[in-house]
Amino acid sequence: MVRFILRAVIAALGLWLAAQIVPGVHVTNVGSLIAAAVLLGVVNAIVRPVVILLTLPFTLVTLGLFLLVINAAMLGLVAWMLHGLWLDGFWAALFGSLVVSIVSWVGSAVVRD
């Protein structure tokens, strides 16, 4: 449970940073930011593996670059489900998911098990 909360905080930090530096990513308040981080964790745990499995041929043909599109789609799904987070299009979702992924990667490297 502590790991999930820590990952949610790191994801919230990534979403906040994405809202600050990526034009087109908007978060209304801190509550929406926390809800989006938790929902993103749930979506990445449940929906993302199924989507990756279904799009495996595209991922193999593009040598893994299609995973960036999948990450953008997961962020778009969270924005669609939550009223406090919205994206201005595909490119905002792509660059926003890239920022969130980099922050999560660095955060996971800093905070180990």
From the DSSP assignment, how many helices (H) and strands (E) are in the chain?
5, 2
pLDDT single digits (tens) 55-107: 999 999 999 999 999 999 999 999 999 999 999 999 999 999 999 999 999 99
Residue 68 CB contacts under 8 Å (≥ 6 apart), including other chains: 94, 97, 98
Q: Other C-beta atoms within 10 Å of 56: how many?
A: 11
pLDDT single digits (tens) 6-54: 888 999 999 999 999 999 999 999 999 999 999 999 999 999 999 999 9
Closest CA to 98 of 41, 15, 37: 15
